[in-house]
């Protein structure tokens, strides 16, 4: 959607990140609405496990979000070095779960949770990023037509982390985020995505039909309870996830 820069807030004398919407994207009313939706969704979520947005302004017709500046690396960058020891993976997963719980309590569904959108700060905190596909659980009849189309009948998200309902373009709720969190936990424990394929069609087929989690790929020192929790996450359909 745009680019992110390091900047300094001269009024409060602090470093921040500013997310500037790309001009060609800003000219698209739907993409502009999605950018603003992200800012509003995150602003409503005051939680240490979710990236903070301080302000949303428009400069020369271009939306700009002023955000918390984070130091560290994304979970995706960390996974490029291999799997994560099970205790640390559980710590990260628990922090992500707490952030998602706070979002769901406010009626906000992330819909695009993946390692790229989980940030590990140099201070040891875990932050959920990028609520660009965030959706408030409202009746479609009360939503603008443009948003209603993103609720039902449209596939939005990242293949390999989307629940079966999401892949099929059906309406989703917070349980699809739980499904994605299980995918992320599995990838942390094994160093490999749970669902993969050479094409999006192969990944979709894997999500819809592969119902058994390969817990043998887990660290053999990990407790049986952890294997049971991760396997339970992938009950199909995701609407059965608890």
**Predicted local distance difference test score (pLDDT) of residue 140:** 35
**Predicted local distance difference test score (pLDDT) of residue 150:** 39
CATH superfamily to which 2-68 belongs: Phosphorylase Kinase; domain 1 (3.30.200.20)
**pLDDT at residue 152 greater than cutoff 70:** no
Chain segment 65-116, per-residue pLDDT in tens: 899 999 999 999 999 999 999 999 999 999 999 999 999 998 888 888 999 9
**Predicted local distance difference test score (pLDDT) of residue 153:** 40
DSSP letters along 134-193, please? -EE---GGGS-HHHHHHHSS---S-TTTS-HHHHTT----HHHHHHHHHHHHHHHHHSS-
Task: Name beta bridge partners: 121.
Answer: 72
Chain-wide mean pLDDT for the chain? 81
Q: Are the C-beta atoms of 118 and 126 separated by less than 8 Å?
A: yes
Q: How confident is the model at residue 151 (pLDDT cuts 50, 70, 90)?
A: very low
**Predicted local distance difference test score (pLDDT) of residue 238:** 45
Structure tokens at 177: 């985020």
CATH superfamily to which 72-240 belongs: Transferase(Phosphotransferase) domain 1 (1.10.510.10)
Q: Output the CA–CA distances (angstroms, integers) from residue 51 to 39, 44, 48, 147, 158, in the order listed.
A: 10, 11, 8, 23, 20
**Predicted local distance difference test score (pLDDT) of residue 213:** 65
Q: How confident is the model at residue 136 (pLDDT cuts 50, 70, 90)?
A: low
Chain segment 200-214, per-residue pLDDT in tens: 788 888 888 766 666
Q: Which sequence positions are flagged as catalytic? A: 112
Least confident of 85-89, 172-176, 181-185: 172-176
Of 215, 198, 130, 114, whose CA–CA distance to 162 is shortest? Answer: 114
pTM of the complete model: 0.80
- Domain extent listing, the chain: 2-68, 72-240
Q: Taking every pair of C-alpha atoms in the chain, what is the biggest distance, in angstroms?
A: 56
Distance CA 218, CA 215 (A): 5
**Predicted local distance difference test score (pLDDT) of residue 197:** 82
Task: Name beta bridge partners: 2.
Answer: 21
Least confident of 7-11, 121-125, 144-148: 144-148
φ, ψ at 50 (rounded to 5°) = -130, 135
Chain segment 11-64, per-residue pLDDT in tens: 999 999 998 888 777 788 887 887 777 777 778 788 999 999 898 888 888 888
């Amino acid at each position: 959607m745009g680019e992110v820069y390091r900047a300094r807030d001269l009024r409060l004398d602090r470093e921040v990140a500013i997310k500037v919407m790309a001009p060609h994207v800003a000219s698209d009313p739907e993409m502009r609405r999605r950018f603003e939706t992200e800012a509003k969704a995150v602003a409503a979520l005051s939680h240490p496990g979710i990236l903070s947005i301080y302000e949303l302004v428009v400069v020369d017709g271009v939306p700009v979000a002023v955000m918390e500046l984070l130091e560290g690396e994304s979970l995706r960058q960390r996974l490029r070095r291999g799997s994560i020891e099970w205790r640390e993976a559980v710590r990260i997963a628990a922090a992500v779960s707490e952030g998602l719980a706070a979002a769901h309590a406010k009626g906000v569904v992330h819909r695009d949770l993946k390692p790229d959108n989980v940030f590990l700060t140099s201070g040891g905190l875990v932050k959920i990023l990028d609520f660009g596909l965030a959706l408030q659980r409202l009746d479609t009849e009360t939503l603008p037509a443009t948003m209603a189309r993103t609720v039902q009948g449209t596939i939005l998200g990242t293949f390999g982390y989307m629940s079966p309902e999401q892949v099929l373009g059906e309406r989703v709720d917070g349980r699809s985020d739980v499904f994605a969190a299980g995918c992320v936990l599995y990838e942390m424990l094994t160093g490999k995505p749970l669902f993969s394929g050479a094409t999006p069609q192969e990944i979709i087929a894997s999500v819809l039909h592969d119902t058994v989690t390969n817990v043998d790929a887990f660290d053999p020192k990990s407790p049986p309870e952890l294997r049971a929790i991760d396997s339970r996450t992938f009950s199909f359909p995701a609407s059965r996830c608890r």
